[in-house]
Amino acid sequence: MTTLESLPAPSADTAAAIHDAVRERYAEAAVAAAAATSPEEAAAGSEALASCCGPDGCSDERSSPVFGAELYAATDRAALPNAAVLASLGCGNPTAVAELREGETVLDLGSGGGIDVLLSARRVGPTGRAIGLDMTDEMLALARRNAAEAGATNVEFVKGTITDRPLVASLFDKYEPAGVFHLAAESHVDRSIVSADDFVQTNVVGTYSMLESARTYLNSLIGERKDRFRFLHLSTDEVFGSLGEAGYFSEQTPYAPNSPYSASKAASDHFVRAYQHTYGLPAIIINCSNNYGPYQFPEKVIPLMILNALSGKPLPVYGDGSNVRDWIYVEDHCRAIRLVFERGASRETYVVGGGNERRNIDLVRRICNILDEIAPMEEVQSLHEQGLKSYSELIHFVEDRPGHDQRYAIDSARIARQLGWQAEVGFDEGLRRTIHWYLSNPDWVDQASSGSYGEWIEKNYAWRIRKEGS
């Protein structure tokens, strides 16, 4: 059996990491054990940790000095995530882990995009169920197709919007979910600049509606079901504003949104925080960097550039193309979301980035280079007839977006330290996968580009290109 005397002294980084992971009444006692410089101090911290469960003790032996010993021993990166997670769950009670079980249902608010589809396909198991919500027949049809192609056969779809509180409340009552993945959002900055109405309604009012319904539902639960319930709110790094040439966003970065979109997401984050603090809602916030990968709507920059290039259309680059974004492949993000939902500390925030900073112009040029390699222009008759030799000849610098943030970059140390997560897909590999996916799914592209999305792309970019050419 492990004894305190046999354990090495922990590093300062270990103590800080465990302190970062542990919340509320367990923090002081757990850190006392973790930051100890002698076996005697560790034992004292362990006794305090055991006593935090109350006079009747805890149901798990990890609330005893043995648990304190594990914290004390967590001096390397491999051991730390387990110790930190045990601490954050409150005396290490395994029933507090929100890992989804066979047959359980989750509400997936925002069912049409790539994150939602790929996450649904992996998170509820063969006997579980995810309930998706979208507001138009057009989006529901696309969402059903996405789910079927991704193998997410256990997803049901409901027509409606998260601003409809009676509908949302009825979903909680009918399906009795084990948790909520709140991914629904209006997310295109350019759209928000033209009009912020939809962003305020969906991102702010809709989030409030979700929180109220979740709070009412949580109050109806008892025992283990209540302990295990989680509300995961997905947000963006754009709420932090713009970085200079150096530095990174972290969980401690002050909010400074610069667009109507990021302002609406900041407001939603603040509502979630308020419900955490005021009502004790077991919510977790993720602020993520720019996603890319399969099933992303064509209005986003990477699919827009791929599809425009293959059609011989201009590739619009804002300003001088020097703006920097941190890119994360959608599969890596999905792993982070599920890991945070199941193992993250309740009422915590995690920032998640891919560690792939690229200037916009470099991103577009790399897309062109890969297309030159795998779909050369001489093999595409319509492009060959234009006399073009490289897709890069289609690049057009256009009038910049108003208030365009210069740089985003994320320090993902907390999720790496606490949960052992790190991005696995390199940027070039992920970009190649993405390009191949769009080349292999022309029917999906046609369906996703029709209707309002196609109209928006034409409206937003065509006039900028015409203006630059005049």
Residues contacting residue 466 through CB under 8 Å, at least 6 positions apart: none
How many other CB atoms are found less than 10 A from the CB of residue 201?
A: 16
Nearest to 341 by CA among 99, 175, 87, 18: 99
70, 134, 237, 269: the catalytic one is 237
Strand 290-292 to 155-159 pairing: unpaired
CA distances, 185 to each of 137, 199, 225, 262 (Å): 17, 8, 27, 11
Residue 351 contacts residue 340 (beta carbons within 8 Å): no
Residue 346 phi, psi dihedral angles, 5° rounding: -60, 140
From 26, 72, 217, 261, the catalytic residue: 261
With a CB cutoff of 8 Å and minimum separation 6, the contacts of 460 are: 190, 191, 194, 299
Q: Which position among 238, 299, 342, 405 bears the catalytic label?
A: 238
Q: Which run of H or of E encompasses 349? A: strand 349-352
* DSSP per-residue letters across 320-346: TS--EEEEEEHHHHHHHHHHHHHHSPT
Our answer to whether residue 261 is catalytic in this structure is yes
Residue 63: DSSP 8-state:
G
| C-alpha pair distances (Å), 135 with each of 123, 159, 163, 167, 451 | 23, 5, 10, 12, 15
Helix, coil or strand: residue 131:
strand
The helix/strand/coil state of 353 is coil
Q: Are 63 and 192 in contact (CB under 8 A)?
A: no
Q: Under 8 Å CB-to-CB from 176, ≥6 apart: which residues? A: 105
**Residues taking part in catalysis:** 237-238, 261
